[in-house]
Amino acid sequence: MRPLLLHLDHFGSFREPATVDFSDTEYFALVGPTGAGKSTIIDAICFALYGTVPRWGKENVIAHALAPSAGSGKVALVFESDRRRYGVVRSLVRDAKGTVRTKEARIDELDPAAPLDVAYEMVLKSLAEGEHVTPEVQRVTGLEYKFFTQCVVLPQGRFAEFLHAAPRERQDLLVQLLDADVYELIRQRAARDEEAARSAAAFARDQLAKLAGASDEAERELADGLAALRRLAGTLDTDLDLLRAREADIGRAEQERASVAERQSALAALRMPPAVPTLASARREAADAVAALGAEVATLEADEHEAFEALAALGDRAEPVAALAALDARERLTAQAAAARAAAAEAAASLERLVPKVAEAEHALTEAEHERERLRDAHAAAALTHRLAVGEPCPLCLRPLSELPHHERPADLGAADRALAAARDRAGRGRAALTKAETSASMLAAQATRLDTDLAALPAPGDRIEIEGRLAAIAKAEALATEARTAVRGARGKLERARAAAEQVERQAESAWQTLGSTRDRLLVLAPSDDPPPPLTRDDLHHAWSELLGWRDRAAEAARAALTERERELAQATARLAAERHKLTERLAEHGVTVPRNATPDQLGAAVAGAVARADGALERVREERRRAADLEKVVAEKEHEAKVAHELALRLRANAFERWLCAEALAVLVATASETLMELSDGQYELALGERTGDIEVIDHGEAGLRRSARTLSGGETFQAALSLALALSGAVARGLDSIFLDEGFGTLDPATLDTVATTLERLAAGQERMIGVVTHVPALADRVPARFEVLRDAKGSHVRKVGP
């Protein structure tokens, strides 16, 4: 993994967007004061790749990634791995509760030919998003998070401890650096695998025990039984055909017996209809009744004709009825006219009596009105008198009054008003009664005149006695005619009923003939050809039925004999079928084939076919169980072998000697690899070796003729070279093809001479290998010797970075 371009926006102490371009640098330094944010750039690279940073403690903690005052932020990294270019972006956001969470995470493969300033826009394909980004980074870089933090950001301080530690302390450090404690996990896994393998072997043995019956002998027995059943099935068709022939014989015998039984039943059911013996006399009696009633109807019809002719001779009834009605009307009109004249005379007399009374009432009314006027004037004068004074002018004559007039007190004016009202009422009633009487007299006089006119217009009246006699004669003739018609209708009804009875007798006779014919036809079909029923002649129904019944008696005796013979033949055929079926059933039973009692040939064939199928299935099951048993035996052997191997591995890993041996072997390889690097860094002066007696790391000083001495005797710069060599050796062992490493701090306590050695060592390391080397330092003497520098400063607005040098 080689970083090319890093972009930070509100990440950590970088509160403003910042971009770091590593594309044209091989050896660089991140320089700046303590706390400026140099390590934050290394943290940003780690966070972009894996979503976490070692300095934050837990791997899932991301709260420190966002600047405290920022609501959102982003880290983007363009890097190369295995000659491919990738871009990874992680965006952060702070929610309303202040919790920082990942808003977006993605990794894309980019176009390697595109300029870096537009690299994020030249996406070849999207590789992963969200929680799948970190696994995809591990895949494309070949580095897990743990190895990245050990091999890219080198823990050189711990390797200085490692260089000077005692053997036991070195072993503990080596276990941590190499993750040798994984072998304890392997031992635990081996113990679990052993237990699982033993359980699987035990389960397989249990399953194998259940298949104990699936032996070679059982398979041979089933195969032999199947072969025998197939041979039986091959010869079964002949036996089944014989059984079917026997069943066909029984079927024919049963059919013949049924035919004879049907003929016998038909003969036994033959009966002469009860009405046949009396039908001839009934036909004669019905014909005689029809003839007698026909003659009676003819006589009555002649009487009816004569009665209606006599009625017609008397004329129409309407004429005397009308004459009688006219006579009745004249009499009623005469009486009404007389009554009207009498009423008119009475009305005129009443009118004459009423006139003087009305005149008297009118006179009384006039007198009452005059009296009322007189009293009114009197009361007015009396009232005026009270207002007069002597000497004052009179209101009437206008002359002065010499004295006041004297008047008697007038009568009560109210009594005069009541008398006037009563007089007016009497006069009004009199006038109304007079008007009513005049109107009534006028109307009655007019009515009497009209009735007299109507009476004069009527024709001359006839003789009532003559008219009524004529009507009586007509009524008598009508009664005789009605009686004659009723008699004719009664006789005709009797004649119709007699004819219906005769027709019913004829239908009975015809039905008896049809019954006789259909019965003979059915018997003709059932009867043997040598003794058919007698032919029919339609001369005498009773004789024909008697002749057929005589034939029936003879045929019934012959049918009983034939039925006995058919039953004997059926019993013989049934016995032959039972014997053949029993013989075949015994053969089937010898081969283990059970069949129901009285099984049909088809059932027998199906039973054999089923037995063949079951035997075939049983054989196949045994063979399958034998194959399963063989597989289970292999499983038992494999699992027991796996359990043995896992047991041996757990035993080997449980011993402390394994850890010592593993660390010794790893230390030997590590020291040999580091020795080669140290020879390059020290211009061939130093190499490392393990002490044969003490196990300590020693230095072979070729400047002193190959003198071996303790690593503790090295100077500060030489110690840095040796520790750096060990760190690079471990990195090479853990991560093959590492394209970049970062050395973070560890240089502030070195003296100038040692610092010069360190700087020279790093220069040689950068010149001799094709990898990016980054140094994080705040020591100017070291920073000045690095060709490319990224200066990190911090002010009130946060951290800033700029490139210094080529």
pLDDT at 74: 93
Find where tokens 């089923």 sit: 610
In a domain, 228, yes or no: no
Q: How confident is the model at residue 256, as a pLDDT?
A: 74
In a domain, 567, yes or no: no
Please check whether residue 730 is in contact with residue 719, taking contact to mean a CB–CB distance below 8 angstroms.
Answer: no
Confidence (pLDDT) at 109: 94
Q: How many CA atoms lie within 13 A of 601 on its CB side?
A: 15
Give the pLDDT score at 174.
Answer: 63
- pLDDT > 70: what percent of the chain? 91
Give φ, ψ of 686 to 5 degrees. Answer: -120, 145
Q: What is the pLDDT of residue 171?
A: 67
Highest mean pLDDT among 408-417, 557-566, 680-689, 787-796 belongs to: 787-796
Of residues 418 and 180, more confidence is placed in: 418
Q: What is the pLDDT of residue 20?
A: 93
Q: What is the mean pLDDT of residues 439-447?
A: 84
Summarised one tens digit per residue, pLDDT across range 786-802 is 889 999 999 988 899 99
Whether 191 has a pLDDT exceeding 70, the answer reads yes
What per-residue confidence (pLDDT) applies to 510?
79
| Weakest-pLDDT range from 231-235, 262-266, 502-506, 589-593 | 262-266
pLDDT of 713-763, one tens digit each? 887 777 777 877 777 777 666 555 567 888 775 666 667 777 787 778 777
699 within a domain of the structure (yes/no):
no
Tokens of 12: 């950590």
Two structure tokens written together for 562? 């034939």
pLDDT for res 535: 80
Q: Specify the pLDDT at position 127.
A: 93
pLDDT at residue 659 in the model:
66
Rounded CA-CA distance 726/677 in Å is 8
Q: How confident is the model at residue 178 (pLDDT cuts 50, 70, 90)?
A: low
Which amino acid appears at position 412 of this protein? Answer: D
Q: At what angle do helices 541-590 and 464-526 cross, to 10 degrees?
A: 40
- pLDDT bracket for residue 86 (50, 70, 90): very high
The reported pLDDT for the residue numbered 728 is: 74
Provide the pLDDT for residue 731: 65
CATH number at residue 141: 3.40.50.300
**pLDDT band for position 470 (50/70/90)?**
confident
* Model pLDDT, residue 430: 84
Reported as a pLDDT band with limits 50, 70 and 90, residue 90 is very high
* DSSP designation for 539: T
Region 182-200: mean pLDDT is: 84
Report the pLDDT averaged over residues 215-223. 82
DSSP 196-264: HHHHHHHHHHHHHHHTTT--HHHHHHHHHHHHHHHHHHHHHHHHHHHHHHHHHHHHHHHHHHHHHHHHH
Q: Is the pLDDT of residue 654 over 70?
A: no
Find out whether 54 and 45 touch, Cβ atoms under 8 Å.
no
pLDDT tens digits along 332-375: 888 888 888 888 888 888 878 888 888 888 888 898 888 888 88
Please report whether residue 134 resides in a domain: yes
**Structure-block tokens of residue 19:** 């971009």
Q: How confident is the model at residue 545 (pLDDT cuts 50, 70, 90)?
A: confident
Confidence grade of residue 247 (pLDDT, cut at 50, 70, 90): confident
Of residues 245 and 90, which shows the higher confidence score? 90
Strands 84-94 and 100-110: antiparallel
How far apart (Å, rounded) are the C-alpha atoms in residues 409 and 404? Answer: 15
Q: Long-range contacts for 453-461 (Cβ within 8 Å, ≥24 apart)? A: 454/333, 455/330, 455/333, 455/334, 455/337, 458/326, 458/329, 458/330, 458/333, 459/326, 461/326, 461/327, 461/330
Note whether residue 58 is domain-resident: yes
The H or E element spanning position 123 is: strand 123-129
Straight-line distance from the first to the last Cα atom of the chain, in angstroms, rounded to the nearest whole number: 23
pLDDT in tens, 91-128: 999 988 888 888 999 999 999 999 988 888 899 999 99
- At residue 451 the predicted structure's pLDDT band, cuts being 50, 70 and 90, is confident
Determine, yes or no, domain membership for 613: no
Amino acid letter at 86? Y
Q: Give the percent of the chain with pLDDT over 90.
A: 10
Instruction: Kindly tell me if the per-residue pLDDT of 639 is higher than 80.
Output: yes
Per-residue pLDDT tens digits for 146-170? 767 766 666 545 556 666 767 766 6
**Domain count of the fold of the chain:** 1
> Whole-angstrom Cα distance, residue 71 to residue 53?
20
pLDDT tens track for 492-525: 898 899 889 888 888 887 787 778 777 777 776 7
> Which tens digit of pLDDT belongs to each residue from 522-536?
776 767 777 788 887
Please give the residue range of the domain that contains residue 73.
1-152+746-751+777-806
Averaged pLDDT of the chain: 81
Residue 655 lies in a domain: no
Q: Does 180 map to a domain?
A: no
